[in-house]
């Protein structure tokens, strides 16, 4: 079911016209469908039935407080990669015990904050981090529950910048070094090893890499148990893909069937950490056409949404479908164009060489599948205010993060004392 559809010629998010939101909020803005978020969560909730498993939402995909609270209210935990995300999860109402702290580089102060907050699990990614956490836990007089993230050296068949499970990636401990790391953890008095973790990449559109990785980690778990370690948890990570163009990612049911088969008899509690799959297709970016600029080589449609609002096309060569908010007539001709923003960079584009209905100044466009790694990666480059975020639920909507004013942006900065103007 699509939660973004044309009704009477106008694109709606559930029961609200996007043009109505644009009139009240201005453009550009992000819009999230609560119905789509709930539907994505239900797929996972249904998928883990019969398994000893839990789901922790990977907040790096979209850390909007309203989004996090919606998932938390339905039973999700949170997978975080910074202390800032930890505070967001707690502020959204997720209990500390349902928070997993991942990430390749955690400072001692950050580990201390996590232990003081009572996070349920810390995923360790290096032997050096084992030593650091042991020292921090000793200072606090606590024993930290940890899993060790291993790198199974499996090609996720995804974009090079979002694959995380190869030996040349910075994440996790190589499989052939894992037993040594677990042995070290077992000797450290302030750590309690509870399991093994992995995460092989993002935007995976086939289950084969998961199967290959699980098989390798399962063999490791057998070796670790033979070494005397008690391995009760297997954190499988996330990474399942969504539809941007013509991808055909596996259903959650298909994915879970593979996981269930390959972990059968393992005796581990399973953890899943979906991010993009829960929020990606539940969000859109809406912008307004500033002007159309015909050229001898191509036509540029210049809009007020830019690379600072959605950097994925520039950073990952990512494709996002773009539609006019007002539905074009079936017989309308199309134009070949680039959809670009006003930022002073040649890389400032949302799409290139697209065939779209003719657009004019004042028209609204909608960028699909922008709910993951959209607003959360936004910046204020060119002193452009961050795009606001809006949530729609049925026929109601609310701004969940307002657009800052220029005055608010400037007020966060300070002149050094020697630059202050004399008041005399």
Residues annotated as catalytic are: 344
233-to-200, 236, 237, 269, 272 alpha-carbon distances in Å? 17, 9, 12, 5, 11
The C-alpha angle 15, 16, 17, rounded to 5 degrees, equals 125
Q: Which residues contact 133 (CB under 8 A, 6 or more apart)?
A: 106, 111, 122, 124, 144, 146, 190, 191
Q: Both tokens of residue 27? A: 């453009």
Nearest by Cα to 271 from 72, 88, 52, 63: 52
Q: Which residues contact 160 (CB under 8 A, 6 or more apart)?
A: none
Nearest by Cα to 11 from 392, 320, 318: 392
Beta strands in 217-345 (DSSP E): 233-237, 269-272, 283-294, 299-303, 322-324, 335-340
Q: Both tokens of residue 322? A: 């773009």
296-to-17, 353, 358 alpha-carbon distances in Å? 36, 14, 17
């Amino acid at each position: 079911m699509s939660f973004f559809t044309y009704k009477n010629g106008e694109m709606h998010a559930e029961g609200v016209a996007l043009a109505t939101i644009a009139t009240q909020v201005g453009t550009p803005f992000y819009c999230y469908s609560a119905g789509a978020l709930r539907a994505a969560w239900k797929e996972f909730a249904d998928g883990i039935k019969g398994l000893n498993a839990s789901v922790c939402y990977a907040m790096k995909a979209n850390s909007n407080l309203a989004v996090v609270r919606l998932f938390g209210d339905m039973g999700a935990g949170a997978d975080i990669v910074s202390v800032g995300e930890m505070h967001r999860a707690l502020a959204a109402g997720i209990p500390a015990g349902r928070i997993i702290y991942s990430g390749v580089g955690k400072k001692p102060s950050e580990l201390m904050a996590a232990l003081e907050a009572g996070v349920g699990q810390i995923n360790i990614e290096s032997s050096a981090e084992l030593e650091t956490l042991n020292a921090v836990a000793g200072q606090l007089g606590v024993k930290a529950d940890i899993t060790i993230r291993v790198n199974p050296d499996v090609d996720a068949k995804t974009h090079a910048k979002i694959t995380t499970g190869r030996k040349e990636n910075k994440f996790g401990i190589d499989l052939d070094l894992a037993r040594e790391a677990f042995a070290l953890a077992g000797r450290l008095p302030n750590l309690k090893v509870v399991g093994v973790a992995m995460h092989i990449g993002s935007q995976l559109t086939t289950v084969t890499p998961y199967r290959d990785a699980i098989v390798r980690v399962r063999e490791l778990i057998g070796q670790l148990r033979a070494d005397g370690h008690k391995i009760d948890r297997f954190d499988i990570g996330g990474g399942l893909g969504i539809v941007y163009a013509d991808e055909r990612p596996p259903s959650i049911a298909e994915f879970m069937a593979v996981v269930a088969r390959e972990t059968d008899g393992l005796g581990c509690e399973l953890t899943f950490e979906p991010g993009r799959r829960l929020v990606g297709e539940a969000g859109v970016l809406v912008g307004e056409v500033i002007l159309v600029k015909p050229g001898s080589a191509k036509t540029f449609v210049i809009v007020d949404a830019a690379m600072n609002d959605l950097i994925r096309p520039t950073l990952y060569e990512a494709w996002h479908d773009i539609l006019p908010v007002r539905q074009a007539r079936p017989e309308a001709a199309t134009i070949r164009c680039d959809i670009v923003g006003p930022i002073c960079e040649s890389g400032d584009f949302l799409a290139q060489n697209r065939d779209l209905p003719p657009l004019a100044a004042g028209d609204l466009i909608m960028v699909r599948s922008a709910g993951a790694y959209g607003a959360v990666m936004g910046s204020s480059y060119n002193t452009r205010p961050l795009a606001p975020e809006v949530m729609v639920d049925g026929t109601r909507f609310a701004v969940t993060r307002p657009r800052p004013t220029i005055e608010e942006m400037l007020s966060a900065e300070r002149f050094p004392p020697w630059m202050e103007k004399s008041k005399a």
